[in-house]
Amino acid sequence: MSESQETVRPFLKVIGLMSGTSLDGVDAAWLETDGITVRSDGPSLTLPYDPALRRRLRALLDRASAHLPGVGPEDPDLQTIIHDLTMRHVMAVEAVTAQVGMKADLIGFHGQTVLHAPDQGLTWQIGDANLLARCTGVDVVADFRSADVKAGGQGAPLVPVYHAALAEHLALPVAFLNIGGVANVTWIGPSTAGRETSILAGDTGPGNALLDDWALRHTGTPCDVDGRLALAGTVSETHLARFLAHSFFAQPLPKSLDRQHFHTFLEQISDLSPEDGAATLTALTAESVAALSLPDSPRRWLICGGGRCNPAMMAALKRALSAEVVPVDQFGWNGDALEAQCFGFLAVRSRYSLPLSFPGTTGVPVPIMGGTFFPAM
């Protein structure tokens, strides 16, 4: 990926918003960027979904993943969910703005993914960008994925171009591993064929989604807090081998999947104890990363997302990967804020007509621009 630094593009103050597949809430982060380099970052926060909204979103995901009739604009609860979800994002923008003490130039609004099936030409993120722009008084860029999917790409992951900007001064090759509901990797290698960097990316498999659902089912808590369940359990090698035989794990990068793609795995481990099930699901996340075919072994794995806070997950990754495994926070980055920062970064790229995705990141035939602009009224 090579981009000219000669064109003078003003640096914009942007708030990036991300509500991921873990369904835990809204991440919001302040960034100053021209869409190529990052001048500075600023405050960030997570505004959790209240339990009722989380339940409604989860029910919507279940209906959408089953492709049930009526899941779409005519869904009776959909407009209420979209309104409540968007107002949560409004609150997040207001909270970050209050911390910075100034108004942003732009907002990058990812929305909540409800369905991601690029093989069927579908990717669906809900949220009302017009309402967000109207309530905040700030221009919004949203709808980041659909142009890529329409052009034949996977529509995910989109964070690699931001990872590449962060990795500008790192010794290559290096890999960023984001463990949210779904886990995704960005491999960044040295220049080839005149390009400044070589990037390969894609989803690796389950991140926290299955583990979160398992923990909620058995403990009433929507995650394996501090990895306690997994650390108290033993991996079922039989179940793990069966899971890793799934055809997805043999597919080359780039590739992507929906949060619910492997949901049947939970029923397949129903014979395990809560502890052994958690240990097995944690091992699945790590081993699916180790199974990747990469152009060259990374010098180090930089871990971001909620999974880096799980000691059992980090231990499993260190056992599975033959390189240094460290949280991105050790490099001065906020591992909780990177995805939100990314969508601020992508919003600026969209306004400056720079591509968001590339053949090596989503499988799209050529670099593709994306995002839709919603002006503040």
The CATH number covering residue 95 comes to 3.30.420.40
SS3 129: helix
Alpha-helical regions (H) of the chain:
51-65, 78-100, 129-136, 146-150, 160-166, 209-219, 228-231, 237-244, 265-268, 274-290, 311-320, 338-351, 359-362
Instruction: Determine the average pLDDT of the residues in 179-200.
Output: 82
Tokens (6 digits) for 326? 């460290």
| C-beta atoms surrounding 234 within 10 Å | 13
**Are residue 170 and residue 237 in the same domain, yes or no?**
yes
131/26 same-domain check: yes
Residue 92, token pair as written in the block: 């997040």
For residues 173 and 187, is the Cβ–Cβ distance under 8 A? yes
Residue 218 lies in a domain: yes
Query: Residues 95, 47: contact at Cβ < 8 Å?
Result: yes
Q: Do residue 147 and residue 258 come from a single domain?
A: no
pLDDT at 360 > cutoff 70: yes
pLDDT at 74 over 70: no
Q: Are residues 187 and 77 in the same domain?
A: no
Instruction: Write the CB contacts of 144 (distance below 8 Å, at least 6 apart in sequence).
Output: 108, 110, 125, 158, 343, 346, 350, 356, 370, 371
pLDDT band at 67 (very low <50, low <70, confident <90, very high): low
DSSP state of 7: S
Rounded-to-integer distance, Cα 280 and Cα 265, Å: 11
The pLDDT value recorded for residue 72 is 59
**38 part of a folded domain:** yes
User: Does 255 share its domain with 323?
Assistant: yes
Is 192 within a domain? yes
167/307 same-domain check: yes
Report H helices in 75-159. Answer: 78-100, 129-136, 146-150
Angstrom distance (rounded) from CA 127 to CA 107 = 13
Distance CA 292, CA 304 (A): 18
Query: 6 lies in a domain?
Result: no
Cα(303)–Cα(249) distance, integer angstroms: 20
Using the predicted structure, report yes or no on whether residue 342 has a pLDDT greater than 80: yes
Answer whether 183's CB lies under 8 Å from 310's CB. no
Q: Under a CB-based contact definition with an 8 Å cutoff, are residues 161 and 33 in contact?
A: no
Looking at the chain, the whole-number percentage of residues with pLDDT higher than 90 is: 83
CA-based Rg of the chain, rounded to a whole angstrom?
A: 20
Reported as a single tens digit per residue, the pLDDT across 25-66 is 999 999 999 999 999 999 999 999 999 999 999 888 888 876
Confidence of residue 71 (pLDDT cuts 50, 70, 90): low
Phi, psi for residue 203 in degrees, rounded to 5: -75, 140
Least confident of 18-22, 78-82, 298-302, 317-321: 18-22
Domain holding 191, by residue range, is: 160-331
User: How many domains does the structure of the chain reveal?
Assistant: 2
Same domain, 101 and 175: no
Same domain, 140 and 29: yes
In a domain, residue 4? The reply is no
Evaluate whether residue 359 is within a structural domain.
no
Estimate to the nearest angstrom the gap between the alpha carbon of 335 and the chain centroid: 12
Domain identity same for 135 and 172: no
The answer to whether residues 187 and 294 touch, using CB atoms and an 8 Å cutoff, is yes
pLDDT score, position 183 = 95
Whether pLDDT at 322 is above 90: no
- Contacts within 8 Å (CB) and 24+ apart, 364-368: 364/148, 364/151, 364/152, 364/153, 364/154, 365/151, 365/152, 365/153, 366/151, 368/147, 368/148, 368/151, 368/153
Q: Do 139 and 217 share a domain, yes or no?
A: no
Tell me: the pLDDT tens digits for 234-270? 999 999 999 999 999 999 999 999 888 999 999 999 9
Residue 361 lies in a domain: no
Could you give phi then psi for residue 356, rounded to 5 degrees?
-100, -30
Please state whether the predicted TM-score (pTM) of the whole model is above 0.75: yes
Q: Do 70 and 117 belong to one domain?
A: yes
Q: Which residues pair with 289 in a beta bridge?
A: none
Domain-embedded: residue 134: yes
Are 144 and 164 in a shared domain?
Answer: no
Which among 157, 285, 311 has a CA at the least distance from the CA of 210? 285
